[in-house]
């Protein structure tokens, strides 16, 4: 494995960041999880656009222009000989003095990892998974906007721990008003009343790249789809449910808080969209 850090490649064993990096000390930084399929980096432009938006919101100056960073990501995939890979692109505030003042960090740091990832066991893609609703609420925009894909994932992590303790692989997170936001690492969709529905960013859902791909594929296939405010009731009474994310791709959901979704198996709309997605990522 060749890890790219600030302009040079190093091995996994030799990869180092400063203990004074504010990304480590305070979660001060942004990141993207990206996929490569058949040597083609999927939706790289969209990922980089979101990365730069997140950085702009944090007044974090990424030390490479988007075009150069795009070439760097593509080169890293080639250098690792990994046509099918998960790419983690991280930009930290960089090393500075102790204390939370970002002005004490003169130069941001860029880290690029090309590796494999498996969010869920393979059998779950055929059988679906069970979710539970976390008791923790998604951070409201009055605190900070979760559209910033920052290194501080404590809110999600605590909900993930809660899911693990309950014997579930993933947890639904609600916002302060009790509406469905997203899961700890994935967006959520339901099929209900003849329409594919997913929460909007205004309900504290991350504007997921895979989420947007699915909405586009559904619309092109003539499947009615919309952003919608959802509650637990909508989840419990849905005919189908699935999750989307770069790491997870598309994961069927067959049970939420002990309620069986549909007939307890991945439904026809879920299977159709999964097929469309697999075709999309393999396009040359």
Helix, strand, coil percentages, rounded to 5, for the chain: 30, 30, 40
Eight-class DSSP state of 206: -
Question: Taking a C-beta distance cutoff of 8 angstroms, is the pair 243, 272 a contact?
Answer: no
String of DSSP letters for 87-152: EEEEEE--B--SSS-GGG--S-EEEEEEE---SS-TTHHHH-EEEEEEEEEPPPTTT--TTS-BS-
Q: How buried is residue 104: exposed, middle or buried, by Cβ count under 10 Å (0-12/13-18/19+)? A: middle
- The residues annotated with a catalytic role in the active site are 149
CA dihedral 161, 182, 126, 192 (to 10 degrees): 140
* CB atoms inside a 10 Å sphere around CB 153: 15
Eight-class DSSP state of 261: P
The CA-CA-CA angle for residues 94, 98, 101, to 5°, reads: 70
The CA-CA-CA angle for residues 196, 182, 186, to 5°, reads: 90
Query: How far apart, in whole angstroms, are the C-alpha atoms of residue 202 and residue 227?
Result: 10
């Amino acid at each position: 494995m060749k890890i790219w850090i600030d302009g040079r490649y190093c091995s996994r064993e030799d990869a180092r960041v400063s203990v004074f990096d504010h990304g480590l000390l305070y979660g001060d930084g942004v990141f993207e999880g990206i996929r490569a399929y058949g040597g083609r980096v999927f939706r790289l432009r969209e990922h980089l656009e979101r990365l730069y938006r997140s950085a702009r919101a944090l007044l974090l100056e990424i030390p490479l222009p988007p075009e150069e960073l795009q070439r760097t990501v593509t080169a890293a995939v080639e250098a690792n000989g990994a046509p099918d890979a998960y790419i983690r692109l991280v930009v930290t505030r960089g090393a500075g003095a102790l204390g939370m003042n970002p002005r004490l960090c003169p130069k941001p740091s860029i880290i690029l990892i090309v590796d494999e990832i498996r969010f869920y066991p393979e059998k779950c893609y055929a059988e679906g998974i069970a979710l539970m609703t976390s008791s923790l609420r998604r951070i409201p925009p009055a605190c900070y906007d979760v559209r910033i894909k920052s290194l501080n994932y404590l809110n999600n992590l605590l909900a993930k721990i809660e899911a693990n303790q309950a014997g579930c692989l993933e947890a639904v997170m609600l916002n302060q008003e009790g509406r469905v936001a997203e899961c700890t690492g994935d967006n959520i969709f339901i099929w209900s009343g003849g329409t594919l529905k997913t929460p909007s960013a205004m309900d504290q859902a991350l504007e997921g790249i895979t989420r947007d791909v699915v909405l586009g594929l559904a619309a092109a296939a003539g499947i009615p789809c919309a952003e919608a405010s959802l509650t637990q009731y909508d989840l419990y009474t849905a005919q189908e449910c699935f999750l989307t994310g770069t790491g997870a791709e598309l994961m069927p959901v067959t049970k939420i808080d002990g309620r069986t979704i549909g007939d307890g198996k991945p439904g026809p709309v879920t299977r159709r969209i999964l097929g469309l997605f697999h075709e999309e990522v393999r396009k040359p």
